[in-house]
């Protein structure tokens, strides 16, 4: 490890959501990677957490908090419940990093960051376009210090274009990317996602991939890159099935009228007698035939989109209603038991606590360990 980096890494405060045993070395292929995380809130910190999970040395650079020494200078630290004045949210998305407090408006502390850039592989930031340049930390300035440096900039709309300076949040990005239009109830009302799709898929995942690609390229060529991540564009680019459907039809699919948005019986959500829900994802004919066998309606087996029953048609809607009435006659537990072992893509819709932690109570420490578990397991 380089001298300046080593000194600051050793002195920086570890950010831990919980105490956990050291990971197997096989889980840390990025151990030599040095990353400066200048980002805050969710997309950038989560991108850098993915890198830290794989072993990268991530120094999270935060400004001092006036009047509250020792507390994080990231607003995420004060969003939601927590302990000792710091939110669980902050601890989870920054788990495995080390916090370095620097006031970048002070010349000597800005000089410290520049010295770290000289020994780093990547810098990740999530400011509005132009802020890094005003701080004297734009890509050209960083490249002058370290030609192999990678700068990853995460923003709502990218570094160029008419919306580059516009404010926004996850809901805005999803709206402009066409996602909200497609998350509608059959009566046409758009619904929210409590999972921040644009922040996580468009921001964190795309930034992590782009950063690693640019760092790998720099290892080969000696030249870094500026990775420009637009969360809106990244989400838009992932809509391959919706996009090709819209391209073919010349318009957006209507809610409840196509193959993947509620227009077929074999791929739908059904309310049970206890107001819990059952997810039927039997897209392929063999899985649909399995569903029909379990519910005792083999006469429905040939009524499938692949055999000519068009999504959104009157026949499809009628069968959705019939299957809905049947499933609605029993509580969820009955259907879970009946479908247990049946290979036909039917699952319960779990509540958030059930899905994350199971049905039993968990301690905060146990819950944190589940929330901070790496997204990728290397074997």
Q: What is the DSSP letter of 296?
A: T
199 classed as catalytic:
yes
Sign of CA dihedral 101, 107, 112, 117: positive
| Three-state SS sequence of 125-172 | ECCCCCHHHHCCCCHHHHHHHCCCCEEEEEECCCCCCCCCCCCCCHHH
DSSP states along 200-232: IIIIIIHHHHHHHHHHHHHHHHS---EEEEEHH
Token pair for residue 69? 């020494």
CA distance 215 to 206: 14
Q: Locate tokens 């060529």: which residue?
A: 221
CA distance 158 to 176: 13
The active-site residue out of 169, 181, 228, 238 is 169
How is the chain split among helix, strand and coil, in percent rounded to 5? 45, 15, 45
> Where in the chain does DSSP place strands (E)?
13-14, 34-37, 57-62, 82-83, 86-87, 98-101, 122-125, 150-155, 226-230, 267-271, 277-281, 346-348
Cβ partners under 8 Å of residue 248, min gap 6: none
The active-site residue out of 37, 199, 233, 304 is 199
CA distance 157 to 229: 8
For the CA atoms of 338, 341, 343, 345, what is the dihedral angle to 10 degrees? 60
169 classed as catalytic:
yes
CA distance 29 to 68: 37
Active-site residue numbers?
169, 199
């Amino acid at each position: 490890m380089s001298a300046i980096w080593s000194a600051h890494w050793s002195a920086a405060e570890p950010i831990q959501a919980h105490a956990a045993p050291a990971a197997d070395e096989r889980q840390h292929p990025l151990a030599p990677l040095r990353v400066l995380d200048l980002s805050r809130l969710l997309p950038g910190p989560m991108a850098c957490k993915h890198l830290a999970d794989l072993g990268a040395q991530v120094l999270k650079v935060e400004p001092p908090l006036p009047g509250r020494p020792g507390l994080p200078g990231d607003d995420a630290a004060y969003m939601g419940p927590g302990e000792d004045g710091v939110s669980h949210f902050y601890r989870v998305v920054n788990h495995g990093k080390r916090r370095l407090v620097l006031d970048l408006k002070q010349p000597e502390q800005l000089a410290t960051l520049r010295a770290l850039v000289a020994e780093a592989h990547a810098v990740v930031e999530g400011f509005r376009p132009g802020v890094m340049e005003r701080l004297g930390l734009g890509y050209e300035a960083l490249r002058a210090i370290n030609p192999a440096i990678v700068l990853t900039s995460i923003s709502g709309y990218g570094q160029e274009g008419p919306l580059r300076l516009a404010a926004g949040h996850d809901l805005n990005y999803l709206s402009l990317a066409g996602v909200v239009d497609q998350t509608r109830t059959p009566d046409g009302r758009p619904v929210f996602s409590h999972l921040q799709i644009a922040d996580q898929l468009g921001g964190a995942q795309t930034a992590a991939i782009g950063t690693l690609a640019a760092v790998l390229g720099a290892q080969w060529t000696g030249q870094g890159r500026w990775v420009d991540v637009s969360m809106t564009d990244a989400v838009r680019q992932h809509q391959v099935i919706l996009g090709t459907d819209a391209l073919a039809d010349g318009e957006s699919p209507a809610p409840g009228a196509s193959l993947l948005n509620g227009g077929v019986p074999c791929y739908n959500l059904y309310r049970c007698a206890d107001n819990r829900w059952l997810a039927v994802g039997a897209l392929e004919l063999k899985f649909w035939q399995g569903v029909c066998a379990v519910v005792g309606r083999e006469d429905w087996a040939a009524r499938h989109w692949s055999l000519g029953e068009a999504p959104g048609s009157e026949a499809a809607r009628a069968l959705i209603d019939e299957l809905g009435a049947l499933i609605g006659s029993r509580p969820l537990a009955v259907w879970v038991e009946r479908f247990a072992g049946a290979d036909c893509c039917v699952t319960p819709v779990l509540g958030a606590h059930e899905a994350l932690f199971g049905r039993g109570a968990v301690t905060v420490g146990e819950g944190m360990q589940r929330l901070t578990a790496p997204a990728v397991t290397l074997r």
